[in-house]
Amino acid sequence: MANLQTFIDAAKALLQAGSLPAEFAPAEADWADFVRAALARYSQDRPRRAHADYAGDGAAYDFTLPAGWDRALSIVEAVEYPQGRREPVYLQRRDWTLYAPGTSAEKLRLLRHTPGAGETARLFYTLPHMADAVSSTVPANDERAVAWLAAAEGCHVLARRFAQTAAPTLSADAVDHQSKAAEYTKLARELERRYHAHAAQAPGASGATLDWDDALSPGRGDYLTHGGPAER
């Protein structure tokens, strides 16, 4: 099972982090930030889906949003009421809202219905993906794509660092900073293109799986032999 370190290691391998000049190499905390940024983008394309049930009492029409709800990334996909019909009944968008009464936390408010005792309202919603030291919520089929995005985030950072660093005198083996910046920008675009091509496929499509070993082994894989920064 992949975890945060899995994605960090994959991004480092794609960019051959060990060969980066010390003054440009991202710090360890930066790599974790690249992964988190990638997860945030991935969560918009393939969010985790969940539901929460609210038991009616004949009086309540405000319901606390479920644990894990992310105000920035979670969205309501549907509200079923009354829950449990053989043919599900979903409220129209005008029948509910997200509302913060006074100084309280945001809640799901039913505007035209008050579930009675024995009735249930079901909220269908999305959650962002996460990765920690133990596990991640990214399906195995999408792990490679998230690593691409994390590496692309790293490429953008490296491109900015090379572009912003002046090199007034260049020896025969000195780094051409502007050229390096352009190469990392190009590589970032290629990684993002690969990600979007993968995301455009149906989740779980067999053609979306790539071999981690082939892609990450030194001297093998498109990213390590395409003529960009990693090949130098």
CA max distance for the chain: 80
Alpha-carbon distance 204 to 141, whole Å? Answer: 6
Stretch 213-223: mean pLDDT, rounded? 38
Q: Establish whether the linkage from the previous residue to 82 is cis, with ω within 30° of 0.
A: yes
**What pLDDT is attached to residue 162?**
84
Per-residue pLDDT of 173-184, as tens digits, reads: 445 777 888 899
Mean pLDDT score, 32-58: 96
Q: Which of 15-24, 173-182, 190-199 has the lowest mean pLDDT?
A: 173-182
Confidence check: pLDDT of 221 > 50: no
Instruction: Tell me the pTM.
Output: 0.75
Burial group, residue 94, by CB count within 10 angstroms (0-12, 13-18, 19+):
exposed
pLDDT band at 191 (very low <50, low <70, confident <90, very high): very high
SS3 category, 8? helix
Place 208 in a pLDDT band, splitting at 50, 70 and 90.
Answer: very low
Alpha-carbon gap, residue 224 to 88, rounded angstroms: 51
Estimate the crossing angle of helix 4-14 against helix 28-45, to 10 degrees.
100
Question: Can you give the C-alpha Rg of the chain in angstroms?
Answer: 23
Whether the per-residue pLDDT at 167 is higher than 70: the answer is no
Give the separation between CA 141 and CA 7, rounded to whole angstroms.
14
DSSP assignments along 173-193, one per residue: T---HHHHHHHHHHHHHHHHH
pLDDT digits (tens, 9 = 90+) for 60-102: 999 999 988 998 889 999 999 999 999 999 999 999 999 987 7
Burial 118-146 (b: 16+ CB within 10 A, else e): ebebbbbbbbbbbbeeeebebeebbbbbb
The backbone torsions φ and ψ at residue 86, rounded to the nearest 5 degrees and listed phi first, read: -60, -40
Comparing C-alpha atoms, which of 157, 96, 131, 172 is closest to residue 6? 131
Q: What is the pLDDT of residues 95-129, one digit of tens each?
A: 999 998 776 789 999 999 999 999 999 999 999 99
Give residues with Cβ within 8 angstroms of 92, minimum separation 6: none
How many CB atoms within 10 Å of residue 187? 25
Measured CA to CA, the distance from residue 97 to residue 95 in angstroms comes to 7
Q: What is the mean pLDDT of the chain?
A: 84
pLDDT at 1 over 60: yes
Crossing angle between the packed helical segments 143-164 and 177-199, to the nearest 10 degrees: 160
Cβ-based neighbours of 123, under 8 Å, separated by 6 or more: 51, 52, 53, 54, 63, 65, 66, 76, 79, 108
